[in-house]
Chain A
Amino acid sequence: MAIQSLSQDQAPTAQSPATPAATRRRPGALARAVDTTLGRGLIQILAVAVFFASWEIAVDAGWLTEFLVGAPSGIWRVFVKSVLDGSLVHDTWLTVVEAILGFVIGTVLGSAAGLGLWYSVLVARIVEPFIVAINSVPKIALAPIVILWFGTGFISKVALAVSLTALVALIAAYQAARDADPDLQALLASMGASKNRIFRSVIVPSTLPAIIGMFRINIGFALVGAVVGEFISSQAGLGHLIYNASSLYDLNAVWVGLFVLMFVGFLLYHVIDFAERRILPWRQVDTAGSVQV
């Protein structure tokens, strides 16, 4: 029949339009040899090694005062000691749990509220200036009230992380929902879809990239919330470690706290990266063939 013969004649062979190879800048021979996972990793490790070695040398030579800047060897000693006595693991665990809990609660509440605003343009318009106003307060300034309300324990750190993340999530989700393609929504409406159906089939999936992008920002904010909460009053946690050590001029211990925080943030960021690749397979399709400029 006509359709079949036609479709065979015309069956497309190439799957995707070719990328314009001419626009690709050709890297030099050295750059190409180094630009592998192993090559890049070696260079990164080398850079870190050089950094710490020069630091140590500068302290040994007396160009820098260990009292004020610490020294890699001292940082290592504090690190080993606090790992062995279990305090570092405990501090890290506590801060991570506070941050993750705050992140999850704040992000879920905020995203839900932000997406929910899609349902009513009227409500959204009414609350918009309030959201902007609240968001313009540096939320860290809320810390004293949060401590007042939630005490000095674990809960107040989580609450602070929630207060930092919830509004970011709300705004990101609301904006993404507002930007969702109206034609896709119209198409579903023409198929007789209900508002809830459109929400599930268009709004949620089309806002996911923005929401997951916001996760990256919020995981950082959640850590800020937990650490600042610990600065203000606490018995343990990385914030406690850093604050305490710096009031005792123990710079090496401060650095241990900072480096562990850096590591935790780095790790959580990559967890989100991994999740993103699993949740949004359709965004990953053609990154391999993309044009380099």
Chain B
Amino acid sequence: MDALANGRDVQLALRGIRKAFPSRGGAVPVLDGLNFDIYERDFVSIIGPSGCGKTTVFNVIAGLLEPDEGTMRFRGEIVPGLSGRVGYMMQKDLLFPWRTVLQNVMLGLEMKGVDARAATETARDYLARFGLSGFENAYPKTLSGGMRQRAALIRTLIMDPDILLLDEPFSALDYQTRLYLEAVLLDAVETFHKTVVLVTHDIDEAVALSKRVVVLGNRPARVKAVHDIALNDRSPIGARSDPRFSEYFNTLCGELDIQTRARAA
């Protein structure tokens, strides 16, 4: 774990997180003593084979699941979970079908008890900023997949959470829309100084967006490696044309490849 030691402030530290799910044939271990740190204003991607427990890690961090063992420290303080402090964007866009775009975006503010007038105003500002003006009163099912995901991203950002947890947010989108939303995300993260943890199955996306990449092994998941990504340009297209991009890409591919072979053996 030497990659972690570069003198930056740790925002969230996971130590020895274990989680097993009960099933018919006894408990199935999913997280097997997970250790990693997330720094202030970090951008960490978590990659790993599908079904290895990436979403489970997020559920533990978000306080939706209690780990069987292990501790989480938020800015040094032991916490059971970060419920109310995270902006969790799940795999599906998960907009509330009965709420308009505006009402969906306001959701987090409502939960915080922000006064409706002020919440509406903030929501309108965010929608305008992210190019969704004119769709305030549309229902989610009339929007394209990219717009729905953009609305979900705005809903996550507007709560001003300490940490953004993004679970394969762009995996269902076409490449163009994905590049566009990646840019929106990077820009928002820079502007609002957010910490981001991104789960993705897309190595390409992980390298292009992240400062660091955490590689998980097969279930039960452990941290297999942590890679620092040092690209000069962190725009979705710029990063992908950096000469070091393919180097990182190959390293990470290799890491996942070994796992496939190990599993096949």
A285 and B111 within 8 A (CB):
no
Q: Which residue in B107, B131, B142, B159 is a CB contact (below 8 Å) of A15?
A: B142
Q: Give the interface SS of chain A, mostly helix, strand, loop or mixed.
A: helix
Contacts of A10 in B (CB 8 A): 131, 146, 176-177, 180
Complex contact B138–A3 (CB within 8 A): no
Distance, CA A205 to CA B177, complexed state (A): 31
Q: A3-B129, A183-B94, A285-B141 are in contact. Are A189 and B147 (CB under 8 A)?
A: no
The count of chain A contact residues (Cβ–Cβ below 8 Å) is: 36
Chain A positions 170 through 206: 1 when the CB is less than 8 Å from some CB of chain B, otherwise 0: 0000000000010110111111110001000110011
- B92 to A3, Cβ gap below 8 A? no
**Closest residue to A208 on the B side, CB-wise?**
B98
- Residue contact A187 to B84, C-beta cutoff 8 Å: no
Of B40-48, B56-64, B207-215, B216-224, the segment with at least 4 beta carbons within 8 Å of chain A is B56-64
Minimum Cβ distance to chain A for residue B182 (Å): 10
CB pair A188 B138 closer than 8 Å: no
CA distance A6 to B182 in the complex (A): 11
A3 touching B131, Cβ below 8 Å: yes
Q: Is B249 an interface residue (CB 8 A)?
A: no
CB distance from A182 to the nearest CB of B (A): 10
A-contact 0/1 string along B81-110, CB 8 Å cutoff: 001111010101010111110000001101
Q: How does the 8 Å CB contact mask read for B54-72 relative to A, with 1 for contact and 0 for none?
A: 0000010011100000000
CB of B183 within 8 A of CB of A6, answer yes
- Kindly state whether residue A280 has any CB partner on chain B within 8 Å: yes
Q: Is B144 an interface residue (CB 8 A)?
A: yes
- Say which residue of A12, A183, A191, A286 sits within 8 Å of B159 (CB atoms): A191
Given the complex of chains A and B, what is the CA–CA distance between A190 and B83 in angstroms?
5
Q: List 18 interface pairs A-B (beta carbons < 8 Å), by A numbering.
A: A2-B183, A4-B131, A6-B131, A11-B131, A16-B142, A183-B92, A186-B62, A186-B88, A187-B90, A189-B63, A190-B64, A191-B84, A191-B88, A192-B83, A192-B85, A193-B111, A202-B96, A286-B141
Interface residues of chain B, those whose CB is within 8 Å of chain A, are 59, 62-64, 83-86, 88, 90, 92, 94, 96-100, 107-108, 110-112, 129-131, 138-139, 141-144, 146-147, 159, 165, 176-177, 180, 183-184, 187-188, 235
A7-B131, A188-B107, A286-B141 known; 19 other A-B pairs, CB under 8 Å? A2-B183, A2-B235, A3-B130, A3-B184, A3-B187, A4-B129, A6-B184, A14-B144, A184-B94, A186-B62, A190-B88, A190-B165, A191-B84, A191-B107, A191-B108, A192-B111, A192-B112, A202-B96, A282-B99
